[in-house]
């Protein structure tokens, strides 16, 4: 069977209303930096400011909006090194340790993903960021210490052992955009800011 | 890059939250005991410097559709070409080259599962390569926020070192 169909065990995304789609289109590249940004939005959505604030609240409550926040460009701030650390850990411990690793101050994302044996045996992913290669290598060893008890020693079919951890550093950003929703109904289509082919 | 104290605070204090009210910058101005126009100017210049990517709602890809991480093992001399093919898909929103047999890593987001699977098939056909599909099963911290250290910024030095490493 082809690898390219997957059945998610997660719940289905709830359909967005057309107002919500427009809201996302208008704000996915950020709010305008003006004294009353939600007024700006209310004019474009044709609803009152009150309604904009309520809609925002409701989308936040339903998890469609994670948060309203300042999103820094870490690269510009000197964080030129990121490492995707990957770990083959015991499934029964994954939940507990995922939470511990996710809380480390230098970890930006921590995910559990399926193994695809024999090509891919890692189930825990933690992204680390730093200003030098040395720094992220040190973060990797801190995570390794925390996971030392639960790393799996797995054998390949030819009896060679699988590695149970690795760190994939990035050599190039080839594309980076925010969430991109296209809406046929909205004329002033907002295109996401794209960083293409930045060396890192 | 020299950032003012106000700019540093604006970046570090608001990665997790920003006021939701009719005049949010006025609220920040009160918090930092400055004028609203100073806050607006500070944020505008952060955006001009590209230190701040954006300020606003951060959406959950999963709630707004379906998405997955995908990896590909590409021959080194074909990497640029394959990356270009992959990037042509507007559903691809992050694409990184990484040091590994699986050397191309990207996120594909589409409006629902059916559309996502169709796109994945199309990418496979276009590139004639097998995809390693690694959807998220659980997430423990996906805020992409961590405290920025403004004290030590050896930017140029590392840029140089890394460029050498890439040769």
Q: Is A163 on the interface with B (CB under 8 A)?
A: no
The predicted complex's ipTM stands at 0.74
Q: Per DSSP, which regions of B73-137 are E strands?
A: 92-98, 104-110, 132-134
Q: What is the pLDDT of residue B71?
A: 98
CB A15 within 8 A of CB B115: no
Distance, CA of B18 to CA of B55 (rounded, Å): 8
CB B97 within 8 A of CB B83: yes
Q: Per DSSP, which regions of chain B are E strands?
A: 52-59, 66-72, 92-98, 104-110, 132-134, 138-141
Q: Is the pLDDT of residue A33 over 50?
A: yes
Q: How many residues does chain A have?
A: 200
Q: What is the mean pLDDT of residues A103-125?
A: 93
Q: What is the pLDDT of residue A195?
A: 40
Q: What is the mean pLDDT of residues A40-45?
A: 97
Q: Is A31 on the interface with B (CB under 8 A)?
A: yes
Q: What is the pLDDT of residue A135?
A: 95
- Residue ranges of domains in chain B: 5-57, 66-134
Instruction: Quickly state the pLDDT bin for A77 (edges 50, 70, 90).
Output: confident
Q: What percent of chain A has pLDDT over 90?
A: 58
10 Å Cβ neighbour count for B7?
Answer: 21
Mean pLDDT per 10-residue segment, chain B (167 residues): 90 89 96 97 95 91 82 96 94 90 94 93 97 92 64 44 36
Q: What is the pLDDT of residue B142?
A: 59
Q: What is the pLDDT of residue A184?
A: 39
Q: Is B48 on the interface with A (CB under 8 A)?
A: no
Most confident range (mean pLDDT) of A24-28, A29-33, A44-48, B93-97 is A44-48
Distance, CA of B116 to CA of A164 (rounded, Å): 30
Q: What is the pLDDT of residue A12?
A: 52
Q: Span B66-134: which CATH code?
A: 3.30.70.3460
Three-state DSSP at A96 gives helix
Q: What is the mean pLDDT of residues A52-65?
A: 94
Query: Contacts of residue B124 in chain A, CB cutoff 8 Å?
Result: 2, 4
Distance, CA of A111 to CA of B97 (rounded, Å): 19
Q: Dmax of chain A from CA atoms?
A: 67
Mutate to test the interface with B, among A8, A33, A139 (most CBs of B within 10 A): A33
Query: Contacts of residue B83 in chain A, CB cutoff 8 Å?
Result: 174-175
Which DSSP string corresponds to B120-131? HHHHHHHHT---
Distance, CA of A67 to CA of A179 (rounded, Å): 14
Instruction: Quickly state the pLDDT bin for A133 (edges 50, 70, 90).
Output: very high
Q: What is the pLDDT of residue A16?
A: 83
């Amino acid at each position: 069977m082809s690898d390219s169909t997957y059945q998610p065990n997660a719940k289905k995304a709830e359909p967005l209303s057309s107002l919500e789609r427009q809201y996302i289109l208008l704000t996915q590249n950020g709010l305008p930096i003006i004294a009353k940004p939600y007024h700006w939005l209310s004019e474009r959505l044709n609803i009152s400011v009150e309604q904009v604030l309520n809609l925002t609240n409701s989308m936040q409550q339903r998890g469609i909006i994670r948060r309203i926040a300042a999103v820094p460009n870490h690269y510009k701030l000197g964080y030129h090194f990121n490492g995707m650390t990957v770990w083959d850990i015991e499934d029964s411990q994954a939940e507990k340790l995922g939470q511990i690793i996710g809380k480390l101050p230098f970890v930006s994302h921590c995910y559990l993903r399926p193994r695809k044996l024999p090509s891919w045996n890692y189930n825990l992913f933690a992204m680390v960021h730093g200003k030098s290669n040395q720094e992220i290598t040190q973060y990797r060893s801190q995570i390794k210490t925390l996971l030392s008890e639960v790393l799996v020693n797995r054998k390949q079919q030819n009896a060679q052992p699988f590695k149970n951890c690795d760190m994939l550093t990035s050599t190039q950003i080839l594309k980076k955009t925010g969430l991109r929703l296209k809406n046929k109904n909205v004329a002033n289509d907002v295109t996401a800011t794209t960083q293409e082919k930045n060396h890192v | 890059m020299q950032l003012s104290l106000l700019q540093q605070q604006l970046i570090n204090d608001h990665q997790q939250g920003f006021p939701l009210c009719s005049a949010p910058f006025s609220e920040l101005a009160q918090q930092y005991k400055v004028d609203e126009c100073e806050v607006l100017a500070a944020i505008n210049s952060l955006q001009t410097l590209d230190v701040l990517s954006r300020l606003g709602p951060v959406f959950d890809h999963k709630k707004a559709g379906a998405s997955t991480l995908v990896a590909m093992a590409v021959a080194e001399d074909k990497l640029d070409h394959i990356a270009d093919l992959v990037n042509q898909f507007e559903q691809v929103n992050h694409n990184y080259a990484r040091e590994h047999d699986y050397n191309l890593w990207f996120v594909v987001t589409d409006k629902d599962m059916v559309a996502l699977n169709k796109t994945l098939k199309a990418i496979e056909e276009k590139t004639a390569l097998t995809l390693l599909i690694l959807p998220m099963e659980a997430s423990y911290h996906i805020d992409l926020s961590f405290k920025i250290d403004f004290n030590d910024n050896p930017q140029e030095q590392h840029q140089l070192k890394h460029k050498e490493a890439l040769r």
